[in-house]
Amino acid sequence: MKKIILIIALIVSSNAIKAQDAQADTSVKAERAKLSPQFSKLPGKWQFVKALQGAKDLSAEMKMFYIKKKPITLLYDKDGKITYPADAEAELKIKEGYWEFFPGAKRDLKIKTITVDGSAQESFKLVSVTEKEMIYEETRSKTKYYFKRVK
């Protein structure tokens, strides 16, 4: 009898957790639907161009933005997923990524990268997003990352 009650309690708590997760997912999607006009241009394909720390070009040091010595192209979708090229896992050990927007925060763009060894998460300040260019900044080091939109 105790085993049956325990199993029922586990099922009920599992269903409650699933309902909470579904509700959280819905609220995240609702928040993305309310993106500012600046962030509404973020979804799309972006190719790395350069990284500058003041006047110093750090592009060559940014190994995570190159595959076989060519700039990486990332797909930012409207649901917050970042899709990496197929060879990113072999070359960079990156499986997938996610982005989130925090309106009004000092660092309003959070990027989470899932690797074969774990994950990493960084927050940036989105400087600008246009139809042709995206710039975000790592505010502590004052490094700006430049991407161009590709078709």
Domain ranges, residue 89: 36-150
Is the alpha carbon torsion for 59, 64, 66, 72 positive or negative? Answer: negative
Report yes or no: 23 and 40 within 8 Å, Cβ to Cβ: no
Task: Tell me, yes or no, whether 57 and 98 share the same domain.
Answer: yes
Task: Tell me, yes or no, whether 41 and 27 share the same domain.
Answer: no
pLDDT digits (tens, 9 = 90+) for 89-142: 888 899 899 999 888 889 999 999 999 899 999 999 999 999 999 999 999 999
Q: What is the mean pLDDT of the chain?
A: 81
Number of domains in the chain: 2
Q: Whole-angstrom Cα distance, residue 63 to residue 71?
A: 9
Task: Tell me, yes or no, whether 135 and 67 share the same domain.
Answer: yes
CATH number for the domain harbouring residue 62: 2.40.128.540
**Neighbouring-strand partners of residue 74:** 46
Task: Tell me, yes or no, whether 12 and 48 share the same domain.
Answer: no
Whether 42 shows a pLDDT value over 80: the answer reads yes
Lowest mean pLDDT among 15-19, 52-56, 84-88: 15-19
User: pTM, whole model, 2 decimals?
Assistant: 0.73
Task: Tell me, yes or no, whether 22 and 44 share the same domain.
Answer: no
For residue 36, name the pLDDT band (cuts at 50, 70, 90): low
Task: Tell me, yes or no, whether 25 and 47 share the same domain.
Answer: no
Task: Tell me, yes or no, whether 136 and 105 share the same domain.
Answer: yes
Report yes or no: 112 and 98 within 8 Å, Cβ to Cβ: yes
Whether 61 shows a pLDDT value over 70: the answer reads yes
